[in-house]
Amino acid sequence: MSAIAELQSLSKTKGRKAPAKDNKAAHIFLIPWTIGLFLVTLGPMAMSLYLAFTDYNLLQSPEFTGFANIERMLDDQRLHNSLRVTFTYVLVGVPLQLAVALGVAILLDRGMRGLSFYRSVFYLPSMLGSSVAIAVLWKQIFGTTGLVNQMLDLIGIQGIGWISDPNTSLGSLILLNVWTFGSPMVIFLAGLRQVPAMYYEAASIDGASKWRQFRSITLPMISPIIFFNLVLQIIGAFQNFTQAFIVSNGSGGPADSTMFFTLYLYQQGFKQFDMGYASAMAWLLVLIVGAFTAVNFFVSKYWVFYDD
Amino acid sequence: MRTPFRSVVKHALLILAAGVMIYPLLWMVASSFRPNDLIFREAGLVISQVDWNNYPNGWDALSEPFSKYLMNSAILVLGCILGNLVSCSMAAYAFARLDFKFKKIMFVLMLMTIMLPIHVIIVPQYVMFSQIGWVNTFWPIIVPKLLATDGFFIFLMIQFIRGIPKDMDEAARIDGAGHPRIFLQVILPLMVPALATTAIFTFIWTWSDFFTSLIYLTNPSNYTVQVALNAFIDSTGESNWGALFAMSIVTLIPVFLAFLFGQKYLVKGIATTGIK
């Protein structure tokens, strides 16, 4: 069961008290985790919530300003733009990436020739993808004299500066996200393997077309996995930073077209040292990611099927 | 129906797709051996004029030789691997095998941390670590791993331990072994595949991490390879693609090797945290 399925089932069952016979041993085993939870996660979360209502530049102590940061967020056009950019990236990039991942996973039949070769080649980019080197590569590929334009030149088409044109720069980053479809693909592959072959056999005997089998057997059977990938990829996509940073030299340009929310947060917090505002932004991000996840969980009741 | 024709079409399609997928990487390798002016003219993989200088030039382009940054990244990666292995396996044992008070709520908290954006804790963490003088040291990145903050790996290990028959530890308990001994002598040796998976993922993710090292490691002598590459772009990169590609390749090689040798574990890790 995935972490997400586990969360779903936990939220359904009513709390039953554990027998609690290993309290002492458990405390010992959980010492690092408990310290980490309070010192590295919950503590900073509480402090960040407080800082969100302050003006703080790291040198002077935080000054409580009430809702000033929130009012500023409401008026901040660059922030609104960064939300637009990020939403576009999430809402276009994630479905596209998952569709490709699922499509390729379905093409890769169990026991087919060269399966492990194909899987490796498709999986590799998603392992390399988050590093600076790949962003550097992308910057060149979609540059004015880059690989894409060289190829277009061969067939006589005059390319444009994909990265330097605000209309296409975000598109190139979405494409980079699609390119890293390998890890959701691996999860789809494992999921497809769980669908009993007899369902397909029975359906073929009944004369169901391949498309019909896909719609009526494959999709419902792997819906928990689609859901899992969807939730995780959305959460991940909201936090994309490296690629936007490298491709735009940290500026979010051209014309703020790659100013992702996290990049703007970094600029405010760690370039301007406007820590109060950055904290308020971080909480907005948590609320947005949380809302997306909650909606996902809620809607999942209508399209995700668990057979147990 | 499975016909030879369909199969040929399918393989042709897949090979084409695989080619498109890795072409940019191969082209980057080829370009790292090209003189700068040819990089912008040769879209193919054939290197018409080999320029060996990109590597030595890139290696010494910044204030420290690139070996220094490789070493920094290596230290960071080893520290994080060690931290994750020790702390996550302890937590996983407790969650998978022990009954204790508030287990359920702690478990839910642990699962939630997997989904928490790091941005909400990075500002206070930075404030905290800068106050104890840890900025420009590796501690802000390693210490959280020692404290089992990577819920993903705890969950992965829990899943794995759940698959180990309980008879094993019950037999040991009857023989008088306490939990520390059961953990160390029964469970840990059996969960080596899960530990390997954790080590390889930690390797790749820590090596590739840019955000936290960009924030904490601002002194050039502390740069990791990722931050060094970024600094490279700022100084000479735009005019020196050959050297930039060469150093990019240098930073990708360890990840590629980890992928190559750890692939079995990576696939399993991805699959087991995804579904049972």
The pTM is what? 0.93
Q: Are B110 and A33 in contact (CB under 8 A)?
A: yes
Selected residues 189-248 of chain B with any CB under 8 Å from a CB in chain A: 204-205, 207-211, 214-215, 226, 229-230, 233-234, 237, 241, 244-245, 248
How far apart CA B176 and CA B173 sit, in angstroms, is 5
pLDDT of residue A3: 79
- Cβ–Cβ contact A43 with B under 8 A: yes
Average of per-residue pLDDT values in chain A: 92
DSSP H or E segment with residue B83: helix B66-97
Closest Cβ–Cβ partner in A44, A133, A228 for B128: A44
Closest approach of A167 to chain B, Cα-based (Å): 22
Tell which residue, A189, A179, A218, has the closest CA to residue B267. A189
Sign of CA dihedral A192, A198, A199, A200: positive
Q: Residue A9: CB partners within 8 Å, gap ≥ 6?
A: A1
Query: Where are any strands of DSSP class E within chain B?
Result: none
Using alpha carbons only, give the angle A90, A96, A102 rounded to the nearest 5 degrees: 125
**In whole angstroms, how large is the CA radius of gyration of chain B?**
23
Beta bridge partners of A64: A54
- Cβ–Cβ contact B82 with A under 8 A: no
- Cβ–Cβ contact A127 with B under 8 A: yes
How far apart CA B232 and CA B237 sit, in angstroms, is 6
Helix, strand or coil for residue B140?
A: helix
A216-231 average pLDDT score: 92
Under-50 pLDDT residues of chain B:
1, 275-276
Q: Are B150 and A41 in contact (CB under 8 A)?
A: no
State the DSSP string of B232-270: HHHHTGGG-HHHHHHHHHHHHHHHHHHHHHHHHHHHHHH
Chains A and B form CB pairs within 8 A to the count of: 287
Tell which residue, A70, A40, A59, has the closest CA to residue A279. A70
pLDDT of residue A19: 58
pLDDT digit string, tens, across residues A286-301: 999 999 999 999 998 8
Residue of A nearest to B127 (CA): A58
pLDDT of residue B5: 86
Interface test with A, best of B80, B112, B123 (most A CBs within 10 A): B123
pLDDT of residue B275: 44
Helix, strand or coil for residue A249?
A: coil
**In whole angstroms, how large is the CA radius of gyration of chain A?**
23
Closest Cβ–Cβ partner in A58, A134, A270 for B215: A270
Q: Is A15's pLDDT higher than 70?
A: no
How far apart CA A116 and CA B247 sit, in angstroms, is 30
- Cβ–Cβ contact A286 with B under 8 A: yes
Closest approach of B105 to chain A, Cα-based (Å): 9
Interface test with A, best of B119, B150, B239 (most A CBs within 10 A): B119
**Beta carbons within 10 angstroms of residue A60's beta carbon:** 8
Environment class of residue B11 by beta-carbon count within 10 Å: exposed (0-12), middle (13-18) or buried (19+)? middle
CA dist A145 → A63, A139, B214 (Å): 50, 11, 29
- Cβ–Cβ contact A30 with B under 8 A: yes
Assign A18 a pLDDT band (cuts: 50, 70, 90): low
Residue of A nearest to B208 (CA): A131
pLDDT of residue B237: 60
From chain A, pick out residues whose CB is under 8 angstroms from the CB of B229. Answer: 132-133, 136
pLDDT of residue B276: 37
pLDDT digit string, tens, across residues A140-196: 999 988 999 999 998 999 889 999 999 999 999 999 999 999 999 999 999 999 899
Q: Do A29 and B101 touch (CB under 8 A)?
A: no
The percentage of chain A sitting over the pLDDT mark of 90, rounded to a whole number, equals 81
State the DSSP string of A26-57: HHHHTHHHHHHIIIIIIHHHHHHHHHTTEE--
Q: Is A54's pLDDT higher than 80?
A: yes
Q: Are A172 and A163 in contact (CB under 8 A)?
A: yes
Closest approach of A69 to chain B, Cα-based (Å): 15
Q: Do A122 and B18 touch (CB under 8 A)?
A: yes
DSSP state of A254: S
- Cβ–Cβ contact A120 with B under 8 A: yes
